[in-house]
Chains A and B, each alone.
Chain A
Amino acid sequence: MTLLNQIQTVRSRSRQSGSSRITDEQISDLVSKLQDLLPEARLRGNDRVPSSRVLQETCSYIRSLHREVDDLSERLSELLATSDMSTAQAAVIRSLLM
């Protein structure tokens, strides 16, 4: 089941139960999934990492990814300008970058 489906199931269940409150369990489940996405280096062992820590690491990881994307964009644009790739390749990259 996809993540979204899981969430929807949980939500519908909670609605049926009369409370539309998002359970803590649900949130912790999401947080653990988020934790799995994080690179290993950012977690001191996967056991009992507090949610706030996971969120914090996620934020910093996203920021670093942003920086990396900017960096790569720059390099790609330079590559495009200097390299002598085939027209097709250059066209592809150019379309990506512009």
Chain B
Amino acid sequence: MLLLRRSQQPGNDLPELLWQNGPALQRTAAAPFPPFASSAAGTSTSGRAPELTTHHPASATAMRDLLGAPDDDAVPWLHYPVMGGVDDDDSDTAPLPPEYCSTLLSGYPDLPAAVAGRDAGGAPSTSHCAVAVPPPMPEPAVPRHQQQQARPSGEGIMNFTFFSRPLQRAPPPANERASAAAAPSNPVESTVLQASASRLRSTPLFSEQRMAWLQPPKDSRATVAPVPPPPPPPTPPVPIRQGEASAALAHRVQPEARAALERAPPQPPATATTSSVCSDNVDRSQLKRSSSSHQAPEWSVSQEDEDLDDEAGGLRRSASRSTKRGRTAEVHNMSERRRRDRINEKMRALQELIPNCNKIDKASMLEEAIEYLKTLQLQVQMMSTMGTAGLCMPPMLAMQHMQMQMPPMAHFHHHHLGPMGYGMGAFDPRLAAAAAGAAQFPYPMIPGMPMFGHGPAMPSPAPPFPQQAAAAGAQMAAGDDEAAAQAEQQTSGDHPQVPGAM
């Protein structure tokens, strides 16, 4: 059992000692509640509580370990056998739970039953919620009570089982019977929540964490800051309990609640939204959060897309004006805006791809993109030609051409071409001389270079090239387009024009 393993930690002796003192502490049932609250709230992490609820005889020890070995005074309740038959040591602690529970939550004698029946479920402890849910449903508790007798769980876990997954436990039995059962239980839970909340109010930590959504009207201000923490613990049970809708709302509500807080919305609604996270489980109407919960979706809507805020407001305004044309215009504006945003996003991505692009306006950026794309295509063509033909002529001419036609683009090469860029630089003097003498090669001329083929090897690259290139260029001009198409495919090609050029 999980608890068993966890209990394998130093300090087990102490818990055992405490455990033995359990019965002694047992008598002071009423006292430990506040300490429990503070320690539990302070030490128990959401994730642990449910585990603690896993019935285990050594639960007290385990719980202590999980809780980081809190002080005995802090968690005397740990050793309280919630469900009787906790352990060999606790044979006489069985009857505690009912009394304890009664002291804890007057009017909810079913608590122990409910607690006992709960399984850890593994969801993070809704210790906050859990406190609220103590004996949530008398009805569901009844069947569970029967189960509880069979299980030795609970014991000191009472609090955790009882507090940790009340929400989770509630649904299964409720579902078994009828969804209607859950409904009546919710009010019970809510009232319990409030009752326990009031009880826990004494403990500052707990009150802070719980008051936020438990008692919004009272602690609304104090809980502004802690609002974010509480929602997460209740959130996991929420989806389990009520499925996607509440979960989605909860998830939405949390960030929006926070954002709403930042925006300084009315306090009650803010806290109400966070409370609505739990209220999903409990009962929105009961907690008087129906109005605020209604607000939450609005916030989420407006928050999901801040860009649409204006449009949303505009939509509402136009809707209020009930002008069909206004609405259509608003919709149109919205779609137009979305389209623009998409385009802007793509432009930004494109800008990042283009090296040394310091243009801000769209048009010049697009121009650079076009030129860069051409450069890249040319480069790829040239390199593939080099790879296949393996001759110097093509690359020489290509670089020559590039130097001539795209001097501003040279930085492109330096940036991206890496090795190529360097080569470009090295060739500069020769290329410059060649360029001076060479004809203005049209762009399509480059792909025609392979036509020089690897027929005649060029012994001295620089001097003869310009002349030959010029001559070839004149001849090539006619067949450029075809050459461009064939450039990639030609490997060794004694092009008909080559002999003429050479």
Contact = CB atoms under 8 A, between A and B. Distances in A.
Chains A and B bind each other: yes
B423 A89 contact: no
B312 interface: no
A79 B347 CA distance: 38
Contact size range, A: 35 or more
Nearest to B424: A96
A51 B336 CA distance: 13
B386 A31 contact: no
B82 to A, nearest CB: 61
B362 A37 contact: no
Given A31-B366, A55-B343, A69-B379, A63 B386 contact: no
Given A75-B387, A79-B390, A37 B419 contact: no
B343 A72 contact: no
A71 to B, nearest CB: 9
B423 A95 contact: yes
A50 B336 CA distance: 13
A19 B340 CA distance: 20
A79 B374 CA distance: 26
B339 A62 contact: no
Nearest to B420: A96
B351 to A, nearest CB: 10
B361 interface: yes
A69 B380 contact: yes
B361 to A, nearest CB: 6
A75 B65 CA distance: 62
Give the secondary structure class of A's interface. Answer: helix
Interface residues of B, number: 49
Interface string A40-74: 00000000001110011011011101101100110
Interface string B382-400: 0110110011100110010
Nearest to B341: A52
A89 to B, nearest CB: 5
Contact of A98 (B349, B391, B419, B459): B419
B376 interface: yes
Interface in B341-366: 342-343, 346-347, 349-350, 353-354, 361-364, 366
Contact of B386 (A26, A27, A68, A96): A96
Interface of A: 3-4, 7, 11, 22, 26-27, 30-31, 33-34, 37, 50-52, 55-56, 58-59, 61-63, 65-66, 68-69, 72-73, 75-77, 79, 83, 85-86, 88-89, 91-93, 95-98
Please name the 6 residue pairs, one residue from A and one from B, whose CB atoms are nearest each other, closest first: A92-B392, A96-B423, A55-B346, A30-B366, A72-B383, A97-B419
Given A27-B363, A89-B390, A96-B423, 6 more contacts: A3-B370, A69-B380, A75-B387, A76-B386, A95-B426, A96-B419
7 contacts: A27-B362, A77-B419, A88-B457, A89-B391, A95-B427, A97-B420, A98-B419
